[in-house]
Structure 1
Amino acid sequence: MLDVSHEEWLRRAKSLTPPGGHHIDGADQPGGGADFAVVSPRDGQVLARVADAGPAEVDAAVAAARRAFDSGPWPRLTPAERGRVLLRIADLLEERREELALTVSLEMGKPISDAYGIELRAAIGTFRWYGQLADKLTDESPHTAPDALALVTREPAGVVGAVVPWNFPLTLASWKIAPALATGCTVVLKPSENSPLSALLLARVATEAGLPPGVLNVVCGDGPVAGRALGLHPDVDVLAFTGSTAVGRHFLRYAADSNLKRVWLELGGKSPNIVLPDAPDLERAAVTAAWGIFFNQGEMCTAPSRLLVHSSIAEQVTEAVVARARALRVGDPLDPATEMGALVGEAHLGRVLDHIGTGLDEGARLRVGGERTLADSGGSFLRPTVFDRVDPGMRLAREEIFGPVLSVLAFDDLDEAVALANATEYGLAAALWTSDLTTAHRVSRALKAGTVWVNCYEEGDLTVPFGGMKQSGNGRDKSVHAIEKYTELKTTWIQL
């Protein structure tokens, strides 16, 4: 972590000048007059007023992306040339890492240590990885009859609409933008209205790195207006979305009501974290369970929000998790010592508190937390919260809370654990703690999840795909497999 003090971050925050317009056709654009406030969840203060996109601004951004794809240089560059631009973007993100981390921390409440050390590391690494991959992709020439030549080529799909949430504003944007650009596509990005500032800075960096005008455009606004306009737009060929399952359904409808564009969805989760009595290290399992649910304020689609523990060790593991929750330092996101920052805003804090109240009403036992803290700051802070004696039918065990709220459920045998783990409409991630190799393999195969971690949580790198099953979505981000979302397969048959 960068050696910058709390006081220095506070000083820099006061002198920060955030962008306020859209970024269209390679330049900042002021918008059509309407704007909205970006409020920092650390203190409730307005960070900036940002232009609010309507259909006209979305049309302009899509038109710029269409021109850049149909007649601009980007799709016609060699893969190596595109890769070099992506590598320059990564280098410039590294140069401006502190400014970008500060912006992320201010706009969504993430601790500055995580914004700098995790969020920016992931975004920089993503552009670098796809920049290096760009000229390593190959086409196919299947073996066929001796009097014919068959070619199978991957061609860029066209204009990509990308809609991303606020919890990892740069990471998730990079997961979509970098592979799309590597293939030769052009992009219109709509960030969350809670976190548009870092996205606008990213677009500026990309233009400075040499990305031609119109290849990456950013329009700011809310989902029902700007997101809907992008989803319905007939000149958008692919729509990639990360967010809630409810909003994902809207994008599928938009595609059906417009040009049947391909829609790739990474949606919600209610991830199970199964701890067996033969876990190699129960203390480590408990500490990791606490870290997983409280990291990023619990605002993670993969958060292990259901801790499934064998009844013989349930109290031991729960006590260790509760102890960690009590010791966790909740504080100003700009303090490098802070371990858990602010939830993204007052409205979201209210929704999480409603879930906590419902859990109490339904009879779950509150072990720690469950209440707002640091209210005098003006920020949206919540104490880390743990419930046990949670019944599988309770809302705590069924619905995605998207906050630092853990539900502990006990089980008596492995079959019951797998059944509990799969008893959800989601299928994004899961984890298992065991020393038995056979159990690890069998349970991993039985779990209906896109990612299964064994004796760890949230581990991995860009070589492995990420995405969900069931109502957690379709398609994959990260890895070579992300390229599939932004390309079309073409067969050419040549009779010799």
Structure 2
Amino acid sequence: MLSETKLYINGVVRPAAGDRTYETVGPWTGEVVGKAADASAEDVNEAIAAARRAFDATDWSTNHQARFELVKRLYELLQANEERISTLCRVQGGSALGFVPRAQVGMALGCYKELLDLFPQVRWEKDRGEAGPPQYRSHRKIVYEAVGVVGAITPWNVPLYVNIGKVVSALLAGCTVILKPAPDTPGPGAVMGELAAEAGFPPGVFNVVTGADPAMAGEMLVLDPRVDLISFTGSTGVGKRIMEKGAATLKRVFLELGGKSAKIVLDDVPNFAQEVASTMLVGHAGQGCAVQSRLLVSRKRYAEAVEILRGAYAAYEGKWGDFDDPSQVMGPVISKKQMERVMGYIDLGVREGATLLAGGKTRPEKGGGWFIEPTCFVDVTNDMRIGREEIFGPVLVVIPYEDEEDAIRIANDSDYGLSSGVASGDLDRALRLAGRIRAGSVSVNGGMCIAGDLPFGGYKMSGIGREWGVEGIEEYLESKVVAWRV
């Protein structure tokens, strides 16, 4: 059993009001693995009030060096607790051991370090010189200031990574923060609160509220006029609701939402088999917003691609679903609810007329939790729901295209625009196509387009704003113009 996690409010690590807790269920076993503090509305209100006071009545937003040192100290403590956090992400979040060094924990901490390294690049003032008619000639400057109180609402798939992207960027910008983790994975957020207390954060600067209710705390943050900005990562449906509810207070919203990203493999690629096979959707059971879940292959080589995938999926049997194997990157999906949702899409794909090439079944012999085989559909058309909707599971769909124009049309024929990929033996050709894809990031020939020093976000229904990089810190700043007569 995991140790019980607590709230972190106004500088104090404490239980929820009335000592309320809820049970967390492990995706590997389907059994209770721990307890977490179950915040009440009163707890959330206290966290908001504390964050407001800390922003309005302290020098947190203006003392850049002091807060940088505290945020750096939190990084050092997270590093020292990497093993504990990794266990939480495995037991509570369903991460396979081989995925922990990736976005789950290792990459998350690496990206934290990149944010610290980028901090000196943030400009707090820009001089715009003198301008205006003689009688009103003025010297002008732009001052960049923290937005205020931030409500950070994070998902269950890579909780530490997303917590860091929001919380650290907002704190570096000078904001105060209330973090509301997903009910399934409260642990990494709660540990951040514990370590912030150990680091000596001033009361109210950073707060963590966990709870069984997926909506209550988030709704309070969105509706409360004391909260200036909401940063949310999750489904497009919830993102729309946040925009709607946030309108009452004209709240700034940053939304990182769903994706149905396409990878275009051009027929001139020299390592065709490798490019096709490497698109198997297995890392963290496909539970990632930026995963390339649509594989687009030239019709000239489509039959070849199908046979490559048939062999690749067959060879992958026995290489996933083992809790203790460090070479494996795929475990269960997060919950029974998510398993049923993914299986519903698999059933839908068969009804829509796609060919189930591999997988498609649950695997209860892997354990008592929520295991779904790596699954691949071929003969998919882009008007099928499995080709258009985010499944968020280990389900790859393979779509043929006629020529370059058709490939671009299919890639862009989506409500989403988060990430994408192009593979070609001709770099200029690949870059030309990348420039035409409507997505926030494009990987060309395996280039790493998602990193802590790069802005991440999407077009269309994939969201608003950018996370990570200097741009991600600047999401939490306001610009103020100051001008004086000369």
Fold match by TM threshold 0.5 = yes
Instruction: Tell me whether 1:107 sits opposite 2:73 in the alignment.
Output: no
The 3 A distance-change label for structure 1 pair 168 and 86 is same
Q: 2:104 aligns with which of 110, 113, 119?
A: 119
Contact 2:322 2:328 in 1 (8 A): yes
What is the TM-score of this pair, normalised by structure 2?
0.94
Q: Which residue does the alignment assign to 1:243? A: 234
C-alpha contact (below 8 Å) 1:332/1:342 kept by paired residues: no
Residue of structure 2 aligned with 1:201, choices 184, 187, 191 = 191
Q: Deviations along 1:194-237, whole A, 9 cap, x unmatched?
A: 10011101111122223222111111123321111111111100
**Separation in 2, partners of 1:133, 1:74:** 19
Q: Do the aligned residues in 2 keep the contact of 1:333 with 1:342 (CA within 8 Å)? A: no
CA change 1:353–1:74 in 2 (3 A) is: same
Residue equivalent to 2:364? 374
SS of equivalent to 2:163: helix
Matches within 5 A, 1:272-311: 272-290=262-280, 293-311=281-299
Q: Distance in 2 between matches of 1:89 and 1:295?
A: 28
Distance (Å, rounded) in 2 between the aligned partners of 1:101 and 1:459: 25
Asked if 2 retains the 8 angstrom alpha-carbon contact of 1:32 and 1:53, the reply is: yes
Aligned 8 A contact 2:99 2:283 in 1: no
Is the aligned partner of 1:404 residue 2:394? yes
Kept in 1: contact 2:118–2:453 (CA 8 A): no
The 3 A distance-change label for structure 1 pair 340 and 234 is: same
How does 1:125-140 map onto structure 2 within 5 Å? 125-138=110-123, 139-140=125-126
The residue that corresponds to 1:437 in the other structure is: 427
Residue 228 to residue 57, structure 1, CA distance change in 2 (3 Å):
same
Which whole-Å CA distance do the structure 1 matches of 2:82 and 2:12 have between them? Answer: 21
Q: 1:53 to 1:275 in 2, by over 3 A?
A: same
Gaps of 5+ in 2: none
Q: Could you tell me which residue of structure 2 aligns to residue 322 of structure 1?
A: 310
Task: Measure, in 2, the Cα distance between the counterparts of 1:88 and 1:322.
Answer: 49
What amino acid sits opposite 2:12 in the alignment? A
From 469, 473, 490, the equivalent of 2:463 is 473
RMSD: 1.7
1:229 aligns with 2:215: no
> 2:43 corresponds to which residue?
57
Report deviation, 1:457: 6.2
Q: Residue type matched to 1:477 in 2?
A: E
1:462 aligns with one of 447, 452, 463: 452
**1:360 matches 2:350:** yes
**What are the equivalent positions in structure 2 for 1:16-95 lying under 5 Å apart?**
16-19=2-5, 21-33=6-18, 34-77=20-63, 79-95=64-80
Residues 145-190 of structure 1: CA distance to partner in whole angstroms, max 9, x if unpaired? 3952211011011100000100010001101111111111110011
> Per-residue deviation at 1:117?
4.7
Q: State, as a whole percentage, how many aligned pairs show the same letter.
A: 36
1:458 Cα shift?
5.3
**Alignment size in residue pairs:** 477
- CA distance in 2 between partners of 1:428 and 1:456 (Å): 16
Q: Distance in 1 between matches of 2:453 and 2:366?
A: 44
Q: Match of 2:190, SS?
A: helix
CA displacement 1:280-329 (0-9 Å, x = unmatched): 31122123212xx2111100111111111001112222332333323331
> Structure 2: how far apart are the matches of 1:280 and 1:150?
56
CA distance in 1, matches of 2:485, 2:118: 33
Match of 1:177 among 167, 170, 176: 167
Q: Per the alignment, in what secondary structure is the counterpart of residue 92 of structure 2?
A: helix
Structure 1 runs (4+) deviating above 4 angstroms are none
2:204 to 214, 231, 250: 214
Match of 1:312 in 2: 300
Name structure 1 gaps, 5 residues minimum.
1-13
Matched, 1:386 2:376: yes
